[in-house]
Amino acid sequence: MKPVLTLLLSGLAVVLASCNGRAAEDNRPGRPFTLAPAATFDEPWAVAFLPGSETVALVTERGGTLKLWRQGQEPLTVTGTPTVDYQGQGGLGDVALAPDFAKTGIVYLTWAEAGPRDTRGAVLGRAKLITGTAPRLEGLSVIWRQAPKVTGAGHYSHRIAFSPDGQFLFLSSGDRQKMTPAQDLSNNLGKVLRLLPDGSAAPGNPFAEKGGVSAQIWSYGHRNLLGLHFDSAGRLWDIEHGPRGGDELNRVQPGRNYGWPLVSDGDHYDGRAIPRHATRPDLAAPAISWNPVIGPSDFIFHSGRAFPGWKDQAIIAGLVSGGLVRVAIDGEQAREVERIDFGQRLRDIAEAPDGSVWVLEDGGSGRLLKLEPNSDAARP
């Protein structure tokens, strides 16, 4: 029995060491916060916090599950979700609340949808969220689709951002790894789109006279846009993946061409050079770019309530960087201020209604973590 007991105790020691190691990573010195784990999800992709005094959030899992989480409780599965095309980078994507969610309960979801002949594309849907002990979506309907559907399973983008006045829904639509559609105004791939909340093209868009999906386009020449947010001044920004180098933070303006694949601050994966942004001053250049890449997943403009030194800065969650990248905005330009290492790919970042900052880890056991400020939180 003694060897068996020794083996059991040894295994327990390994488990405890592993747990303590992760806790040590969560509370490493020199950071302006400690990390408070709240829940664990299977390949989480996006988080959206509900209004109210309770801390409640919706979390999408890429395999197709939507979870409703209340602080201090286990996440509940929301029924009534769509069938998703779960492969490559595809699956269940973004989740956002309607501007009038407190009154209507309407939520928006994006996901990858299968099409004919091995094609697929992103779609946007909306439904009413019914909360409680058995949460569900009611009346889910698709209100927008990427056009055309194409082969492959990458670069869906499909991030949602409502304008500050709540009148318009902005949506990122990736180039689907096809590159050239980003320069073609007859499709909605590689674009930022400006829609009405019902998914139709908003009036007054730059290419409205062309009709069809062209009427949806706000800006074009984009690659894979995984973050889309308004700053405190009401200006729209996106963050997107470059190829081998050339990740970008862009101020998104109507009718502008952001250059992909004509220019980039990175090169093709096979080593072929791409002309740099500086060679084409007629095209919109990024406010800041990264080479090597940071692999951004999303970002926020922080209100400064939790971290006063971060007020109005872009706080970028990174996949390749494995942490946060803090960027200050200087008019139309931006500069990197700090990198904060997590030693872990981060899939999303969000600010809750109380001003607290939360991140989602990437992967099969991705944790939802709250950033608890410490005495260094006010440093600029």
In DSSP terms, 35 is beta-bridged to 371
Q: Which of 291, 349, 339 is nearest to 317 (CA)?
A: 349
For the chain, how big is the Rg over CA atoms in Å? Answer: 21
Distance separating alpha carbons of residues 237 and 287, to the nearest angstrom? 10
CB contact at 8 A, 81 and 58: no
Note the helical H segments in the chain. Answer: 2-26, 101-104
Judge if the upstream peptide bond of residue 296 is cis by omega within 30 degrees of 0. Answer: no
The torsion angles phi and psi of 365, rounded to 5 degrees, stand at -130, 50
The amino acid occupying position 285 is: A
DSSP code, position 209 = G
Q: How many CB atoms lie within 10 A of CB 314?
A: 26
Pairing of strands 191-195, 236-241: unpaired
Active site residue 302: no
CB contact at 8 A, 350 and 47: yes
Answer positive or negative: Cα dihedral of 221, 226, 231, 234.
positive
Distance separating alpha carbons of residues 264 and 247, to the nearest angstrom? 9
- Which entry of 155, 222, 229, 302 is annotated as an active-site residue? 155
Answer positive or negative: Cα dihedral of 207, 171, 338, 350.
positive
Please tell me the number of Cα atoms within 13 Å of 106 on its side-chain side. Answer: 12
Range 194-198, long-range pairs (CB < 8 A, 24+ positions): 194/168, 194/169, 194/170, 194/218, 194/254, 195/144, 195/168, 195/169, 195/170, 195/171, 196/167, 196/168, 196/169, 197/98, 197/99, 197/126, 197/162, 197/167, 197/168, 197/169, 198/143
Catalytic center residues: 155
